[in-house]
């Protein structure tokens, strides 16, 4: 069934008061699908669906829920239930869940875990969530370079199970320092009598524990990795990162880039309480209101000019709108370049020159078109010249602002994806209105 069909079926069974069909449907779905289904239903229905699952299913679903929805379910779970969830989840996934709990409760959960599990979780919690250390899982299989492949194969048979997404074994020396990778393909196809040192990939690089999650995702993409070891600054193995965690990072970054422009939180519950949603959105609505007042103040300065030439009021939105669109194109391009590692200080000047020339070319072409239309519509050649020059000025300012804003905001520790659009819109609106009305005031004086 398609997801929308599943959702419709659950809503229908809930409305009819018969939940047997919903229970049967939930049993046929995988944990990520159930999490998506829960996030797509209103809170009351969500709670009923949660009660239809057994504890094992609930624990598996927890790791796929967004923060807002996850926190609601965690509030109803006691310490024993959370400890039981730790036994079923990967270390990194359970660490993410613990970070959503108040410190007092997470400390209680850790205190009730056995020593080995607690030490693994605490190791992950000691690093920022958006770093390689926060992404890593401590469940690894290591081998020594001196061992024969036959011994390694015997060891794997005794284990019976391998950690998920295991495409290679990690080779370490006697001090647990990273030495290389032993791909499973090499292990299975090589002579069993040779040693690990003879067939291992000693050039496979490990990831520093403090590397950002965005950089981790870039390296996985460039090298087509399925898993990668994580080491500390002394080269000691700490854990590994697998492709499933990297995919989550890529999806989160993409969602954040889209939602941040509207001032929305990445993990905001679609069906959150009205007051909570209103409060979370009020800040950016207020900021936008302040910028609107600023643009209006600029217009007010030229009130007499607008009264004299009424056509200016008709044409003003064109100048501001074109600048806003052009600036947003540049801003998006620059943010993407920074995110994928293609843009830095070394080539920022080249990009600035490139966007400046693009703005000039587009400005001249579009300004000529708008000038002709304005001159014909209002039978005023001077008006056509004024709007043409104002458009060129605003497009150039928009290109420069869109190129420089991400770096400037990043330096101020402000997310450019979140604040860039608001700041850019303010700049292009104010510049567009000031240039157009200022030139008109000078021209018609």
What's the CA dihedral at 386, 391, 393, 399 to 10 degrees? 180
CATH topology of domain 3-128: MgtE N-terminal fold (1.25.60)
Coil, strand or helix at 138: coil
Whether 142-243 and 274-443 share one fold: the answer is no
| Per-residue confidence (pLDDT) for residue 340, from 0 to 100 | 65
DSSP single-letter state for residue 200? S
Contact between 390 and 354 (Cβ < 8 Å): no
Contact between 61 and 46 (Cβ < 8 Å): no
| Per-residue confidence (pLDDT) for residue 382, from 0 to 100 | 92
Which of 225, 254, 106, 215 is closest to 167 using CA atoms? 225
pTM, whole model, 2 decimals? 0.66
Token pair of 24, please?
Answer: 């049967």
For the range 440-443, what are the long-range contacts, defined as Cβ-Cβ under 8 Å and sequence gap of 24 or more?
440/302, 440/305, 440/309, 440/312, 440/383, 440/386, 441/302, 441/305, 443/382, 443/385, 443/386
E strands along 173-325, which residues? 178-183, 207-208, 227-231, 237-242
What are the per-10-residue average pLDDT scores of the chain (445 residues)? 76 77 84 87 85 85 83 83 82 82 84 84 86 89 93 90 90 93 94 94 93 90 91 93 87 66 59 74 78 87 86 89 90 79 78 90 92 90 92 94 88 77 89 92 86
Angstrom distance (rounded) from CA 381 to CA 101: 67
Domain ranges across the chain: 3-128, 142-243, 274-443
CATH superfamily of 274-443: SLC41 divalent cation transporters, integral membrane domain (1.10.357.20)
Contact between 207 and 135 (Cβ < 8 Å): no
DSSP single-letter state for residue 130? T
CATH topology of domain 142-243: CBS-domain (3.10.580)
| Per-residue confidence (pLDDT) for residue 216, from 0 to 100 | 92
User: Within 340-415, where are the H helices?
Assistant: 345-378, 381-411
DSSP single-letter state for residue 131? B
Q: Which residues pair with 241 in a beta bridge?
A: 228
| Per-residue confidence (pLDDT) for residue 289, from 0 to 100 | 82
């Amino acid at each position: 069934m398609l997801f929308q069909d599943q959702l419709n079926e659950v809503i229908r069974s809930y409305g009819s008061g018969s939940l047997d069909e919903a229970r049967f449907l939930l049993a046929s779905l995988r944990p990520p699908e159930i999490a998506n289904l829960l996030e797509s239903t209103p809170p009351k229905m969500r709670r009923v669906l949660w009660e239809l699952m057994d504890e094992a299913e609930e624990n598996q679903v927890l790791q796929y829920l967004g923060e807002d929805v996850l926190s609601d379910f965690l509030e109803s779970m006691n310490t024993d239930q959370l400890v039981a969830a730790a036994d079923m989840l990967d270390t990194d996934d359970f660490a993410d869940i613990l970070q959503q709990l108040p410190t007092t409760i997470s400390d209680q959960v850790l205190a009730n875990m056995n020593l080995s599990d607690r030490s693994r979780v605490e190791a992950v919690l000691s690093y920022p969530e958006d770093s390689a250390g926060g992404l890593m899982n401590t469940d690894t299989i290591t081998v020594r370079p001196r061992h024969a492949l036959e011994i390694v194969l015997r060891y794997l048979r005794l284990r019976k199970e391998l950690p998920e997404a295991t495409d290679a074994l990690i080779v370490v020396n006697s001090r647990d320092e990273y030495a290389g990778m032993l791909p499973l393909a090499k292990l299975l196809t090589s002579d069993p009598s040779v040693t690990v040192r003879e067939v291992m990939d000693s050039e496979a690089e490990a990831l520093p524990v403090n590397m950002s999650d965005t950089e981790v995702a870039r390296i996985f993409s460039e090298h087509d990795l399925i898993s990668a070891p994580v080491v500390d600054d002394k080269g000691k193995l700490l854990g590994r990162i697998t492709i499933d965690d990297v995919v989550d990072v890529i999806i989160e970054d993409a969602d954040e880039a889209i939602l941040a422009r509207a001032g929305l939180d990445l993990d905001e519950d679609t069906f959150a309480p009205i007051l909570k949603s209103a409060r979370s959105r009020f800040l950016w609505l207020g900021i936008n209101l302040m910028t609107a007042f600023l643009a209006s103040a600029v217009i007010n300065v030229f009130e007499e000019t607008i009264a004299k030439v009424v056509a200016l009021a008709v044409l003003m939105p064109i100048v501001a709108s074109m600048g806003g669109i052009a600036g947003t194109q540049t801003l998006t391009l620059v943010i993407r370049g920074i995110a994928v590692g293609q843009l830095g200080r070394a080539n920022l000047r080249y990009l600035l020159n490139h966007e400046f020339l693009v703005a000039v070319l587009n400005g001249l072409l579009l300004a000529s078109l708008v000038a002709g239309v304005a001159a014909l519509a209002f039978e005023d050649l001077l008006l056509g010249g004024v709007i043409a020059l104002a458009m060129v000025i605003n497009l150039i300012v928009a290109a420069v602002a869109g190129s420089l804003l991400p770096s400037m905001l990043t330096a101020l520790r402000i997310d450019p994806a979140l604040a860039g659009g608001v700041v850019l819109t303010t700049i292009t609106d104010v510049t567009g209105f000031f240039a157009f009305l200022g030139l008109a005031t000078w021209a018609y004086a």
